[in-house]
A and B are shown apart, each in its own frame.
Chain A
Amino acid sequence: MTWFLDHVDDVLSLAAQHIYLAGLPLLLGLLIALPLGWLARRYRGLYAPFTAGFGLLYTIPSLALFILLPGILGTRILDRNNVLVAMTIYTVALLVRTVADALAAVPADVNQSATAMGYTRLRRFFAVELPLAVPVISAGMRVAAVSNVSIVSVAAIIGIPQLGLLFTDGFRRSFYDPIIVGIAACIVLALLFDLVIIGITRVLTPWQRAAGSAA
């Protein structure tokens, strides 16, 4: 505990780096997964290759990806953009299936009503399908967020600063305190991401609250 109090500033700055490396890819990943998921839903033949294909990206061990990306992107190994790209890849891998399934779960009669009311396909997507898909997409985002927070810490092995550095630092000095503080901080961050996603979902789905209070 005293170690933590002596190093609050360091821990907070590492936590800020961690939030950036785990959080930004969540947004980028969602932006990429939305059109891909939509395509997988729109064209039945694409569903299996898309969900299986992007799902396979998730099987690449993170340390391997962190090491291979510089060679593919032409970046330096210590460039933290490698971690951003890797985390975005994992987020996309998780979310393509989620988005496709979420869109598929939108009731057909709702879609037909929108079409009958004169909605164009694009407008129907943004005004009807996407809002109704929010709860399922949000569940996928929560899984991706927790997983990202945990995976980012592995980047400490190649020396990218974030909370994982507390692990390698503590291990090198056979010193428990930084490791325990690092684990606790990772869990707190994961909870924080979870709460933010739950909060945004509540704002975006007012009808769910209405149904909840009426019941």
Chain B
Amino acid sequence: MIPGVLEWLSDPAHWSGPDGVPARTVEHLWYSAVSLLIASVVAIPAGLLIGHTGRGRFLVVNLAGAARAIPSLGLLFIMVLFLGPRLSGDAAFLWPSLVVLIVLAVPPILSGAYAGVEGVDPAARDAARGMGMTGGEVLAKVEAPCAMPLIFSGLRSAALQVVATATIAAIAGLGGLGRFLIDGQSVRDFPQMASGAVLVAVLALLVDLLFAVVQRYAVSPGLTGRGSRGAVREMTVAVRGDSGETEPQHTS
């Protein structure tokens, strides 16, 4: 198998044109980024608000649990059958898959944002109020920055799920790296399938790594303990609480 994969991957014909590796990778990243962006625009403000007001907690916990149990392959096919005939051209392939990816990405981002705000040390919140901050200022200047680590871990697990599921969406006509797996299967071209699988796995790892790096630099040094020791580190533990990270997700 390995020689077949190496041979396939080193063939320059597979690296150019609209169905070459670079074009498929760009497609894959494009679908993933659009879905993550739309999901974030909805889920981050909602999660921050729910964490800040404490209202709707029940909704978040149950939504996240229920969403994990829904098999994305089934949801994808329902969406394609339902939305496909109502759209025309490329949109008929694109939107059903995007809807599934957005639906997948919302719960982890929402629970990350919510858990992040909820886990903020009450003393920090009280101190901010005592300094005369309004509710909105507390949210923007204290709660949101303190919630960053969990917001990022929510985004990270959402990104992984989206990248993985975008692969499956190829079966419903979407482009992206999944095409190599699905098209390879239909013509029994095992090297192509395996090469596609390797590429998807590498892409997923790179995306995860990218989020890890961005997280490192986007989170306040006061929270990560970067560059300082002792008191700050202790505070980090207090702020993060014992929940650590949101649970990893992967439904595809």
Contacts and interface: CB of A to CB of B under 8 A. Distances in A.
Contacts of B208: 56, 59
Interface string A142-178: 0100110111011011100001101110110010100
Contacts of A71: 1-2, 5, 190, 194
A179 B77 contact: yes
Count class of interface residues, chain B: 35 or more
Nearest to B184: A67
- Interface majority SS (helix, strand, loop, mixed), chain B: helix
Interface residues of A, number: 47
A180 B78 contact: yes
A62 B74 contact: no
B75 A183 contact: yes
B33 interface: no
B68 A68 contact: no
Given A56-B208, A147-B250, A147-B251, A63 B74 contact: no
A119 interface: no
B111 interface: no
A154 B168 contact: yes
B75 A61 contact: no
Interface string B192-211: 01101110110011001000
Nearest to B172: A171
Most-contacted residue by chain A among B1, B65, B77, B200 (CB, 10 A):
B77
Interface in A104-139: none
A198 to B, nearest CB: 13
Nearest to A172: B77
Given A55-B248, A150-B68, A183-B75, 16 more contacts: A56-B205, A59-B164, A59-B204, A61-B165, A64-B167, A64-B197, A67-B193, A67-B197, A143-B248, A151-B252, A154-B71, A168-B73, A171-B81, A176-B81, A179-B81, A187-B69
Interface of A: 55-56, 58-65, 67-68, 70-72, 77, 90, 94, 101, 143, 146-147, 149-151, 153-154, 156-158, 163-164, 166-168, 170-171, 174, 176, 179-180, 182-183, 186-187, 190-191
